[in-house]
Structure 1
Amino acid sequence: MSRLGRFRNLLEAIAACDWHDAEMVMSAVLEEARADAPLMPFGEIDDDAEFWAAMATYEELRAWFLACGRRLAHRDLGRRGKIRLAQLLLADLSDEDRKAALAAARTGSRRRQVTQPKRRQAEGPRR
Structure 2
Amino acid sequence: MAGATGADLEGFWSLFNHNLERQAQASRIIDAVLSCDPEDRVLFLETILDQIRPGWPKSFNIDVMEEAGWWADTASTPERKAYMLACYRRLSRTDKEAFLTYITGRAAA
Do they superpose with TM above 0.5?
no
- Larger relative contact order, structure 1 or 2 (CA cutoff 8 Å, min sep 6): 1
TM-score of Structure 1 vs Structure 2, range by shorter chain: 0.3 to 0.5
